[in-house]
Amino acid sequence: MNYLYFLYIEFLAKHNIPKIFGDITFYVIPACIIFVALILVILVLVLFERKLLGWFTQRKGPNRVGFWGVLQTLADAFKLLCKENITPIGADRAVFNLAPIIMFLPVLIALGLIPFSSEFTFMNFQTNVLIYVILATFPVLSILLAGWASNNKYSLIGGVRNVAQILAYELPISFTVLSVIVLASSMNLTQITLAQSNQYGVLGWYWFPCIIGFGLMLICTLAELNRCPFDLPEAESELIAGYNTEYSGMRFALFYLSEYGMLFANSLFISVLFLGGYLSPFGKYLSPILFSGPVGNILIYFEQAFWLFAKSFLIIFIFIWVRATLPRLASFDLLKFSWNILLPLSIVNLLLMSLLKFFVGGVYA
């Protein structure tokens, strides 16, 4: 970010624009980039999921709106915009309206913490990971609010279930993240990414030494995102639509949007922790080889972002694959699975990683 800032100020100085203008606008631009990128990615993501689910079940998926169904998500969004906003009688009006908005905020903040390339991290704190782990649990708050304010038994049960689920699955996540922090000896996501670049290439990334943690992280993230097979808060066979039973129109769209935004953010987070973030899987960046001169040097940053996105989409692919395969767990099994299996496993994993760090040290330091 410092390098970009420097470039920006220099560019402004060339055109005789005062430095104070650059100071003010510099942080607006990346925020806008992140917001636009998020919306675009969600549009792609929804289509990606529906297409893949179609292919997994030998269907075609959406293929009517636009070429190859590309505009399907836009059409859905337009339909939701046209719909009526209904507030049920007896609902807590203020909280009911506030819940979807609160749900969308942490997604935006969480995306700002991710290092998209070596120079582009919107908020580069020393303790990025901690802030992210806290923010990732924020949607549960608004889900509980939505369930509570709806004045509907299904919504309330969905919200409460989600709280129990997050409580159970947040602990294994914390321990797994802690094991990565131990390996990288840093709480900064950029530092963690850089710690994974070594002569072993793909095997040097933390998914290899921390394979148990990688699996745990995938499972727990599924639970945290309320996706199949852990989608108990929205179990349609028992709870109509769970916490968003009473929501319609744009408010429902906000829930939907933030769900997918959180999916994207969490997959980015996993790919930073375990799949080497923006590092190239070939060990070298390709753009300086393909394009010589200054163009290649600038293209490196875009290439880094490309690798990060590719890795995150790989993880999203796994999530969709799981959704297409496994049926939903029972409510009690879900909690038992976490407390009895995942939590001890994550603690063992943390212990193993500490021992690895202690004895092998240098390789993964």
Partner 1 sequence: MLKEFYYMLLSFLTVFKHLFKRPVTLEYPEKKSEVGERFRGKPYMKGCIKCGTCIKVCPANAIKIEDNDFIFDMKKCIFCGNCSFYCPVKAIKMTQNYELATNDVNDLKLLYKIEGRENERLD
Q: Report the alpha-carbon distance of residue 159 to residue 147 in Å, rounded.
A: 5
Q: Report the alpha-carbon distance of residue 246 to residue 155 in Å, rounded.
A: 8
Identity at 233, one-letter amino acid code: P
Indicate the residue among 211 and 355 with the shorter CB distance to partner 1: 211
DSSP conformational letter for 120:
B
Rounded least distance, CB 56 to partner 1, Å:
5
Rounded least distance, CB 67 to partner 1, Å:
15
Say whether residue 60 binds partner 1 (CB under 8 A): yes
Q: Report the alpha-carbon distance of residue 18 to residue 21 in Å, rounded.
A: 6
Q: Report the alpha-carbon distance of residue 322 to residue 305 in Å, rounded.
A: 26
The DSSP result for 52-104, as a single string, is: HHHHHTT---S-SSSGGGTTHHHHHHHHHHHSPP---TT--HHHHHHHHHHHH
Q: Report the alpha-carbon distance of residue 84 to residue 215 in Å, rounded.
A: 42
Rounded least distance, CB 316 to partner 1, Å:
15
Indicate the residue among 56 and 125 with the shorter CB distance to partner 1: 56
Indicate the residue among 22 and 54 with the shorter CB distance to partner 1: 54
Indicate the residue among 297 and 325 with the shorter CB distance to partner 1: 325
Indicate the residue among 27 and 55 with the shorter CB distance to partner 1: 55
Say whether residue 344 binds partner 1 (CB under 8 A): no
Q: Which of 55, 78, 282, 302 binds partner 1 (CB under 8 A)?
A: 55
Indicate the residue among 54 and 66 with the shorter CB distance to partner 1: 54
DSSP conformational letter for 230:
S
Give the range of 54-62, 111-119, 161-169, 199-207 binding partner 1 by CB under 8 A.
Answer: 54-62
Q: Which of 19, 59, 83, 93 binds partner 1 (CB under 8 A)?
A: 59
Q: Report the alpha-carbon distance of residue 264 to residue 270 in Å, rounded.
A: 10
Say whether residue 54 binds partner 1 (CB under 8 A): yes
- Mark residues 301-330: x for contact with partner 1 by CB under 8 A, - for none: --------------------xx-xxx----
Say whether residue 16 binds partner 1 (CB under 8 A): no
Rounded least distance, CB 112 to partner 1, Å:
34
Rounded least distance, CB 292 to partner 1, Å:
39
Indicate the residue among 101 and 326 with the shorter CB distance to partner 1: 326
Q: Which of 15, 20, 32, 57 binds partner 1 (CB under 8 A)?
A: 57
Residue 285 CB contacts under 8 Å (≥ 6 apart), including other chains: 300, 303, 304
CA-to-CA separations, 12 to 18, 23, 117, 122, 168, in angstroms, rounded: 7, 11, 23, 20, 51
Q: Report the alpha-carbon distance of residue 341 to residue 338 in Å, rounded.
A: 6
Rounded least distance, CB 55 to partner 1, Å:
5
Dihedral angle sign, alpha carbons of residues 146, 177, 209, 205: positive
Residue 26 CB contacts under 8 Å (≥ 6 apart), including other chains: 5, 8, 9
Say whether residue 30 binds partner 1 (CB under 8 A): no
Q: How many residues bind to partner 1 according to rule CB under 8 A?
A: 14
Rounded least distance, CB 313 to partner 1, Å:
15
For 117, the 3-state DSSP assignment is strand
Contact residues for partner 1, defined by CB under 8 A: 52, 54-60, 63, 321-322, 324-326
